[in-house]
A = this chain, B = another copy of it.
């Protein structure tokens, strides 16, 4: 029998305890050991819980109990999650987490401790909830060079965008509905400003290319500026607007990575990933495009990914899983403005015809878009000549006849 502890009895933590209890037999069969929750750490009291006798408020009790070989960290945040995780690893316990902030900020450091102590630090649930992505990326694609990863990594924003696209709901109304349905927090910043997606692309980038990418290195834009006019123009262009986290290795060996809304063509597999679903496209040099799709969040999907990692720990006490990446560096990530892109532009101008002709000339080519009831003086177009973003922005600001209302990048997948 293997004893474990759960740090934090919130949504995911209680889900983990539930899945371990409802699937007890099949899990024991797969792990070839019975897995038993000895402690649950939480500041709160749960006297009514069937697991009431397992609760403790003392982290030290867990740390010092040598019977506990696997610790599940599902508290969220960095403090005290980082300190607790590091201490557990140093005490020779394997740690499983769903905490994307922890992995995105401190992954390299924690993986190094895990390697030194010959224990496992696993985090399948930190990206894509119940979608298997960390393990396939690290193992199945081991014989591929990853050319690019692009993903819809946040279910809340995807739900909001889907409502805007399908039901012409405004951003504000769609957000309010997401909050009502429990998909969005009362303070929705982490989702709608793109921070959550940013953490996830950091984890995927670090794993795919072997070197840590930190959240502050990823240029991140959310979806709060997207209007229904943009949605209509995207439709006219032949696609939909999705919040995308993207990373690719450039010829210099450095990375280009960004989180921002993008126009995604209807031909792309990611365009049909709707509602709270996530979709992650991995382009390998040998395997071509592979897409992983499923619910990216939720109590039971996330909990089942955590439990799968726990089973993996129990099966591999002797043989460490080789999840690993090095510490990163500032110069490892290129300036996003140096990436050649195509850009959608929505602007106000006195004479749309004339302004468009000039823009098309200055930008070496542009294609005009239309929608049913444009406002007076509204002009929308996409550029058609790849150009470093910096250059496009400079040229745009030289066009004094245009008052830019919004710009959205065009995806290359």
Residue positions of A touching B, CB distance < 8 A: 19-20, 23, 26-27, 30-32, 124, 129-132, 135-136, 139-145, 269, 272, 284, 286-295, 298, 300-301, 303-308, 310-312, 315-316, 318-319, 322
This chain's copy number in the assembly:
2
Distance in Å: Cβ of A102 to nearest Cβ of chain B: 20
User: What is the chain B residue whose CB lies nearest that of A125?
Assistant: B140
The verdict on A141 contacting B308 (CB below 8 Å), with A130-B286, A272-B272, A294-B287 known, is yes
How far, in angstroms, from A219 to B303 measured CA to CA in the complex?
36
Interface centre among A136, A145, A319 (most CB of B within 10 A): A136
User: What is the chain B residue whose CB lies nearest that of A16?
Assistant: B143
User: What is the chain B residue whose CB lies nearest that of A303?
Assistant: B286
Contacts of A144 in B (CB 8 A): 23, 304
Distance in Å: Cβ of A397 to nearest Cβ of chain B: 40
Contacts of A308 in B (CB 8 A): 139-143
Interface pair A135/B139, CB less than 8 Å apart = yes
13 more contacts with CB within 8 A, not counting A142-B308, A143-B303, are: A30-B322, A124-B140, A130-B284, A130-B288, A131-B290, A136-B136, A143-B304, A286-B303, A286-B304, A287-B304, A287-B305, A288-B294, A290-B293
User: What is the chain B residue whose CB lies nearest that of A128?
Assistant: B290
Interface pair A293/B294, CB less than 8 Å apart = no
The verdict on A23 contacting B145 (CB below 8 Å), with A294-B289, A308-B139 known, is yes
Contacts of A307 in B (CB 8 A): 142-143
Q: Which of B272, B298, B303, B318 interacts with A269 by CB under 8 Å?
A: B272
How far, in angstroms, from A132 to B311 measured CA to CA in the complex?
19
Contacts of A139 in B (CB 8 A): 132, 135, 308, 311-312
Contacts of A306 in B (CB 8 A): 143
How far, in angstroms, from A285 to B316 measured CA to CA in the complex?
25
Contacts of A132 in B (CB 8 A): 132, 136, 139-141, 290
Interface centre among A32, A145, A291 (most CB of B within 10 A): A291
Q: Which of B143, B291, B304, B315 interacts with A284 by CB under 8 Å?
A: B304
How far, in angstroms, from A303 to B131 measured CA to CA in the complex?
24
Q: Which of B32, B272, B301, B316 interacts with A287 by CB under 8 Å?
A: B301
How far, in angstroms, from A20 to B298 measured CA to CA in the complex?
40
Interface pair B141/A304, CB less than 8 Å apart = yes
Interface pair A143/B27, CB less than 8 Å apart = yes
How far, in angstroms, from A229 to B365 measured CA to CA in the complex?
44
